[in-house]
Structure 1
Amino acid sequence: MDGMISELRGSLGEAGVLLDAERMEGYLVDQRDLVRGRAAAILRPSSTEQVQAIMRLASRYGVGIVPQAGNTSYCAGATPDTSGRQMVLSLERLNKVRSVDPLDAALSVDSGVILQHAQDAADAAGLMLPISLGSEGSCRIGGIIGTNAGGLSVLRYGMTRDLILGLEVVLPDGSLVNDMKRLRKNNTGYDIKQNFVGAEGTLGIVTGAVLKMIPKPTHHATAWVCLAEDVPLPEMLALVRRETGDLVSSFELITPRSLALVAPPDGPLKSGSGGVVLVELACSSSRIPVVEVMEGVMGDVFEAGWAEDVMIAQSDAQRADMWRLRETIPEGEKHHGGSVKHDISVPIGRTVEFLKVGGAAVAAYDPTLELSVYGHIGDGNLHYNLLVPKGDDRLRFTDRIGRELAPQLYDIAAGMGGSFSAEHGVGRLKRRLLQHYADPNRYRVLRGLKGLFDPLDVMNPGAMVDPATGLSGQE
């Protein structure tokens, strides 16, 4: 290990290798403060060539490398284990916007670029990068790709996977896969780059990306819909999409308890008896009267008996207030004392059914528990969170729920054709869930791919899956 660190100092310089315990601390704890690891060093390369040098040494010395972007993972996917023999590779110094091409609507960036900075680069070109996350001021492009992040606009624009045109990836042996093309059509064999999207740094290290941009929406219509009881939300979504010409960019659910965490009781934005849906239309054309379209479709929603009240934002400030409440719910949960997060997805048509069946399971387990449920119901993703009871230890409560109640919720989702991880990934915390719920042959292929790309298990070892030597399953 000392020999490797000495060689790394020669390749990366003093600024590229952190060994001081105080400076290393922030890289060793996960976003939710659930997992704390140890590392022999924190590596901070400033170029793709330096990443290649790191991986060549890691393969020679057999040292595990844990890629880390903004360290905002909810599944400890960027946290080293406790052995002290792994090293964290931070992407923070790979932070250049390489090019902005307005005609191809393509944005080329280093993987360490902060999402907000990538959005700003697109905006300066009169375009938009349609990835919107609550952590966009700190999360980085490499982590977004590694987790195939979702966010607030998946309904309209898709997951991160749908916005990738090209990637540059350093493989575990230090060799480089350069597929930084800007093409929309390129049928020249296997789409290799997609193997690295959602792989959480277990197959290679993304060092660069080409991302799709879209015409910047210049007109918005945003509605705060106070729901009646028992609204058939999938039917409401279908109506809104149809009657707006599919201009819907967001369709977000906020339950009354979630709203109470962030909204002042005397504020103008209230909850209906069934909660709130925040609906937004977005359009780049001045020829489409999006506010009139929204007013018309909200009339249809009222006529169907689905809304107790509707407020359509009359200014940018009102729109910002609506989104502030939605986006600060995680912070509100923290101020309450924390929550146990379940990042669940089910087919859109079964979201209401899951809310009822899941709620019954929670009540049967402990009727005193409080649920904070919100999320991207327009794409079937629910953040189904249990608030930590006042006076309870957060970590002990999290462990108990994870052992006793979460499996019931995941079983319910799986029985509906859903998933235990909609957008947060697998990391270290959900490895057993992946093995339990995955189709056996799909799991065998996952391990086979890990073994093919990373037979020495130097890429984020301990995250997602262990390698198999081949698809036959022979170890």
Structure 2
Amino acid sequence: MPHSIRLRTFRDLLNDGAVVDDPERIATYTTDQRQLFTGAALAVLKPTMTKQVADIVRLAAQLGIGIVPQGGNTSYCGGATPDASGRQIIVSLERMDKIREVDPVSMSISVDAGAILKNVQDAAANAGLLLPLSLGAEGSCRIGGNIGTNAGGLSVVRYGMTRDLLLGIEAVLADGTVVSDMRKLRKNNTGYDVKQCFVGSEGTLGIVTGAVLRLAPLPTRRATAWLKLANGAPLAELLALVRRESADLLTTFEFMTARSVALATEVLTDPPSLRAGPAGAVLVEFASSSRHLDLDELLEAVLAEAIEFGWLEDAFLAQSGSQRTAMWRLRETIPEGEKRRNGSVKHDISVPLSSIQRFLDLAGSHVRSYDVDLELSVYGHVGDGNLHYNVLVPPGVDRLEFTKRIDGSLSLQLYDTAAALGGSFSAEHGVGRFKKHLLERYGDVGRIAAMRRIKTAFDPANIMNAGAVVRPLGEKSAC
């Protein structure tokens, strides 16, 4: 069927404004967030309701056209980017952005999958509640993508990943069937927990169109501190101390090396005078909704213990909201600092907490052996075992060529090290298109077989984000 006729059939379902086929406008949807790959698409479709999504999927299945669901297009692994064949359509959820309901009593919020994370946070806050999911891209990433990648972020140590916040879901399967399970229940043991199949699936099993998320009491008090780590400071033991003595009030435990802090400082026009110690720095924060807890006093007591043990050179408690903001700005500017310096090759490593220092030691040895002149930017949510172990692109070197070279050599040594310690090559960024070969290299054979069976059962014609995450049964590996 000619291209123009196929597009006309989609226009009949939607309207002209919902079907984008202008090459220049399509181009803004076909390149991944890190600009490592540009695909091609027949068109970009922008439905406004679940019924339209179901109609699109049914028609695409009849025409044999592939579908790539897309939210904010912030994936670091190409999970929302079409392939180069030009035989896929992008279904953008950007116009499905409604806050459906905030229920303060049930402490839940029901939203369209295209709702921007920051807007959902704000809607919860306006009701005196907290959506604990928080990450750097929250101003542009969307809830459907957060579910598709099982996004983590800055508060996982206390509240868990997206998976832990998901109460209900609405999704469209590959044949157009709508799964409608938008219930607010904490307990519902009625067979398979189907909603969890979509968590981490990156659009390969269907299109998430709605979600019910668990909320928490809105913190009214916070205590925040910047810690300068002494030489040889044991990260895991420090975390254990802070977590134990805080009575589970710890929300943030962010680790940064001195190089990462310096990169952020170079970017800021008015940087705070905060620095890292010989072993780096940690941003730690307690939060509570109680009016009766003195968090500053508690944090001071905990840090006094850490100083006694010789783990900290110094610790600075935020004395005002502006000081707290300055600490957070320094942490959150690290990715921009890397970008301004010519970019980095990113490694989203996860290892057991007890193995973090061992990984840092072994990985550092691998980097020095590979090229003693390479610089690193290492930071992350150490509270949940996640390290962003990034190799900086040397000045004057082509970023894409350098990335390709590192990915095929040093990166594998780093992933081998993480795997040997019981860790993972992807803590929170997902698999997408770019890391599918790593899943096949490091994944358990039985687990991958189960994933392939699930993919084939949900999407027998392989029209949902084909080429991402996992191969269906019957498709041979390209490796």
Same fold (TM > 0.5)? yes
Q: Which residue of 2 aligns with 1:460?
A: 465
Q: Which residue of 2 aligns with 1:372?
A: 377
What is the CA–CA distance in structure 2 between the aligned matches of 1:377 and 1:312, rounded to whole Å?
Answer: 20
Q: Which residue of 2 aligns with 1:362?
A: 367
Q: How many residues align?
A: 471
Q: Which residue of 1 aligns with 2:91?
A: 89
Q: Which residue of 2 aligns with 1:45?
A: 47
What is the CA–CA distance in structure 2 between the aligned matches of 1:266 and 1:63, rounded to whole Å?
Answer: 51
Cα deviation for residue 342 of structure 1 reads 0.2
Q: Which residue of 2 aligns with 1:248?
A: 250
- Alignment pair present for 1:335 and 2:340: yes
SS of the residue aligned with 1:321? helix
1:412-431 → structure 2 map (5 Å cutoff): 412-431=417-436
- Alignment pair present for 1:305 and 2:307: no
- Alignment pair present for 1:172 and 2:178: no
Q: Which residue of 1 aligns with 2:74?
A: 72
Q: Conserved in 2, the CA contact under 8 Å of 1:112 and 1:142?
A: yes
What is the CA–CA distance in structure 2 between the aligned matches of 1:357 and 1:158, rounded to whole Å?
Answer: 28
Q: Which residue of 2 aligns with 1:317?
A: 322
Q: Which residue of 2 aligns with 1:12?
A: 14
What is the CA–CA distance in structure 1 between the aligned matches of 2:446 and 2:210, rounded to whole Å?
Answer: 32
What is the CA–CA distance in structure 2 between the aligned matches of 1:2 and 1:23, rounded to whole Å?
Answer: 17
Cα deviation for residue 2 of structure 1 reads 3.4
Unaligned runs of 5+ in 1: none
1:217 corresponds, among 216, 219, 238, to 219
What is the CA–CA distance in structure 2 between the aligned matches of 1:167 and 1:185, rounded to whole Å?
Answer: 15
User: In structure 1, what residue type is equivalent to 2:227?
Assistant: V
What is the CA–CA distance in structure 2 between the aligned matches of 1:301 and 1:223, rounded to whole Å?
Answer: 13
Give deviations 1:238-280, integer Å, cap 9, x for gaps.
1111111011001000100000101259842111111101100
Q: TM-score, normalised by structure 2?
A: 0.97
Give deviations 1:316-342, integer Å, cap 9, x for gaps.
100000000111111110000000000
What is the CA–CA distance in structure 2 between the aligned matches of 1:62 and 1:217, rounded to whole Å?
Answer: 50
What fraction of aligned residue pairs are identical, expressed as a percent? 59
What is the CA–CA distance in structure 2 between the aligned matches of 1:469 and 1:110, rounded to whole Å?
Answer: 35
Q: Conserved in 1, the CA contact under 8 Å of 2:79 and 2:433?
A: yes
1:139-158 → structure 2 map (5 Å cutoff): 139-158=141-160
Q: Conserved in 1, the CA contact under 8 Å of 2:264 and 2:333?
A: yes
Cα deviation for residue 441 of structure 1 reads 0.7
User: In structure 2, what residue type is equivalent to 1:201?
Assistant: G
What is the CA–CA distance in structure 2 between the aligned matches of 1:266 and 1:157, rounded to whole Å?
Answer: 30
Unaligned runs of 5+ in 2: none
SS of the residue aligned with 2:473? coil
What is the CA–CA distance in structure 1 between the aligned matches of 2:472 and 2:308, rounded to whole Å?
Answer: 56
- Alignment pair present for 1:23 and 2:25: yes
Cα deviation for residue 468 of structure 1 reads 1.2
Give deviations 1:168-213, integer Å, cap 9, x for gaps.
0000100100010100000010100000011000000000000000
SS of the residue aligned with 1:109? strand
Q: Which residue of 1 aligns with 2:450?
A: 445
User: In structure 1, what residue type is equivalent to 2:254?
Assistant: E
2:230 corresponds, among 220, 228, 236, to 228
Cα deviation for residue 301 of structure 1 reads 0.8
Q: Conserved in 2, the CA contact under 8 Å of 1:202 and 1:459?
A: yes
Give deviations 1:336-385, integer Å, cap 9, x for gaps.
00000000000011101101100000000000000000000111000000
Q: Conserved in 1, the CA contact under 8 Å of 2:272 and 2:326?
A: no
User: In structure 2, what residue type is equivalent to 1:138?
Assistant: S
Q: Conserved in 1, the CA contact under 8 Å of 2:227 and 2:282?
A: yes
Give deviations 1:393-421, integer Å, cap 9, x for gaps.
00000000000110100000000000000
Q: Conserved in 1, the CA contact under 8 Å of 2:133 and 2:162?
A: yes
- Alignment pair present for 1:403 and 2:408: yes
What is the CA–CA distance in structure 2 between the aligned matches of 1:353 and 1:279, rounded to whole Å?
Answer: 22
What is the CA–CA distance in structure 1 between the aligned matches of 2:379 and 2:138, rounded to whole Å?
Answer: 19
Give deviations 1:86-135, integer Å, cap 9, x for gaps.
11110100010000000000100000000000001000000000000001
User: In structure 1, what residue type is equivalent to 2:385?
Assistant: G
What is the CA–CA distance in structure 1 between the aligned matches of 2:12 and 2:63, rounded to whole Å?
Answer: 16
Calculate the aligned-residue CA RMSD, in Å.
Answer: 1.2
User: In structure 2, what residue type is equivalent to 1:40?
Assistant: L
User: In structure 2, what residue type is equivalent to 1:320?
Assistant: T
What is the CA–CA distance in structure 2 between the aligned matches of 1:12 and 1:148, rounded to whole Å?
Answer: 30
Q: Which residue of 1 aligns with 2:196?
A: 194
What is the CA–CA distance in structure 2 between the aligned matches of 1:318 and 1:106, rounded to whole Å?
Answer: 32
Cα deviation for residue 224 of structure 1 reads 0.1
Task: Flag as ranges the 4+ runs of structure 1 deviating above 2 A.
Answer: 1-4, 264-267
Q: Conserved in 1, the CA contact under 8 Å of 2:38 and 2:84?
A: yes
What is the CA–CA distance in structure 1 between the aligned matches of 2:180 and 2:23, rounded to whole Å?
Answer: 35
Q: Conserved in 2, the CA contact under 8 Å of 1:455 and 1:469?
A: no
- Alignment pair present for 1:133 and 2:135: yes
Q: Which residue of 2 aligns with 1:284?
A: 289
Q: Which residue of 1 aligns with 2:119?
A: 117
Q: Conserved in 2, the CA contact under 8 Å of 1:106 and 1:210?
A: yes
